[in-house]
Amino acid sequence: MASVVQNLGYGGQRFAEQTLGWCRATIRKGLHELQSGQECLSRFTHRGRKKAEHALPSLLDDIRSIVEPTGQTDPTFRSTRTYTPITAASVRQRLIQDHSYRDADLPCVRTISTKLSDLNFRPMKVKKCRPLKKIPETDAIFDHVHRRNQEADDDCGILRISLDSKAVVNVGAFSRGGKSRQGGKAFDHDFAPENKLTPFGILLPQFGESFLWFTEGKATADFMIDRLEEIWPKLDSKYRPHTLMINADNGPECSGRRTQWLKRLFEFSQATGTTIELAYYPPYHSKYNPVERLWGVLENHWRGELLESIEKILGLARTMTYRSIKPVVKFVKKAYESGVSLSRQEMQELESKLERKAGLEQWFIRIPA
């Protein structure tokens, strides 16, 4: 453009602007580049006010560490948002008290609220998320599990995982309360499905890595431990932990009283030389378990699809992302026997090797290596 205008001579800029529709400011910039031999950069990204995290690099991580322990997913999985009872003003105050920020350095409450929205947190209490019941130990369990989770995340030698199985998925052209993106019609009624799949997942809350398995049988205690043993070489070589902390929701197959679950964990601990800590969430509060957020993302990802085959279910699970990371998805063909348990004498021998927290024996268990 500058070369053409230069060849036109006097009045060339106006002529190019009127006839060719070229911007005169752009022509002048081109002439400057032509004469100086240096390229002019616009640098639009460097203009305007910088974000708060430019001056406070750890701000988002500190906000997440405050809000995430109290966050809960939508029980209906209709939204991927995480609901929390902590307000933006409370988060700002916690940043000053717990993370030693100065009041003058922090952005205003409205900016903190925007940051919470960007992190997918919604500061509000939701009626449908309120638990149906509350036991006397609930508050004590929450206090201890939050403290232990924070200590585990701060210690590079402790790897924290969250595991759980999702509700059984019927394989077939069932609507599941959504609409097909392709316009296909679902069944009017839930007839007998061709197959049923039980999803089981393991999530690393601190890093966002996830592993999903699907089986036509039940996700028994043996099934869960076999899946843990399957990925352990990868986790061990990558993170080199001396302690494995497991967050769960005290379900029937992985509770603190499930004998086969505790036996397999003890054997796993002895075989790998890894100390295991079990930290359960209180009853009726399973939506606080971090892996539930993974199920929320999966449910929203395939809601508009008809899950007509096992291949389609696995394919959709592989294309979802959680924190911009795709999960490792596998299908398990092996069938596991349910109802396997230890005798009273065997369990008494095993109990002598376990360390339970006084007063909260069922929810916090340590298995030394």
Q: What is the pLDDT of residues 96-151, one digit of tens each?
A: 999 999 999 999 999 999 999 998 888 876 555 555 578 889 999 999 999 999 99
Question: What pLDDT score was predicted for residue 188?
Answer: 62
Question: What pLDDT score was predicted for residue 180?
Answer: 61
Nearest CA to 247 among 192, 294, 214? 294
What are the b/e assignments for 243-282, b being 16+ CB within 10 Å?
bbbbbbbbbebbbbebbbbbbbbbebbeebebbbbbbbbb
Question: What pLDDT score was predicted for residue 124?
Answer: 73
CA angle 215, 196, 281 (to 5 degrees): 65
Query: Which range scores top for mean pLDDT: 7-16, 59-68, 180-189, 204-213?
Result: 204-213
User: Model confidence at 274, in pLDDT bands (50, 70, 90)?
Assistant: very high
Question: What pLDDT score was predicted for residue 177?
Answer: 63
Nearest CA to 163 among 272, 268, 67, 281? 281
Q: Considering the chain, what percentage of its residues have pLDDT values greater than 90?
A: 57
- Whether residue 175 contacts residue 323, with contact meaning beta carbons closer than 8 Å, is answered with no
Three-state SS at 364: strand
The mean pLDDT value of the chain amounts to 89
pLDDT in tens, 24-38: 888 888 988 888 888
CA angle 85, 90, 92 (to 5 degrees): 135
**Four-point Cα dihedral 237, 240, 245, 248, nearest 10:** -20
Q: Which residue has the tokens 């053409």?
A: 4
Q: Per DSSP, which regions of the chain are E strands?
A: 82-84, 121-123, 158-165, 169-171, 195-203, 210-215, 243-248, 275-280, 328-332, 355-356, 364-367
The whole model's pTM is what? 0.77
User: Model confidence at 280, in pLDDT bands (50, 70, 90)?
Assistant: very high
DSSP 8-class letter at 305: S
- The domains found in the chain, sorted by start residue, are 2-46 (no CATH), 50-130 (no CATH), 133-367 (3.30.420.10)
Q: Which helix (H) or strand (E) holds 270?
A: helix 259-272
Token pair of 188, please?
């009017």
Q: Which helix (H) or strand (E) holds 301?
A: helix 291-302
Helix axes 59-67, 109-118, angle to 10 degrees: 80
Token pair of 355, please?
């360390």
Question: What pLDDT score was predicted for residue 273?
Answer: 95
**Mean pLDDT computed over 333-340:** 92
User: Model confidence at 308, in pLDDT bands (50, 70, 90)?
Assistant: confident
How far is CA 93 from each of CA 16, 68, 89, 106, 122, rounded to the nearest angstrom? 59, 16, 6, 10, 17
**Mean pLDDT computed over 162-172:** 90
Distance from C-alpha of 215 to C-alpha of 203, rounded to nearest angstrom: 18
Question: What pLDDT score was predicted for residue 190?
Answer: 62
Distance from C-alpha of 29 to C-alpha of 24, rounded to nearest angstrom: 9
**Mean pLDDT computed over 224-239:** 96
User: Model confidence at 320, in pLDDT bands (50, 70, 90)?
Assistant: very high
Question: What pLDDT score was predicted for residue 133?
Answer: 74
Question: What pLDDT score was predicted for residue 182?
Answer: 62
- pLDDT(232) > 90: yes
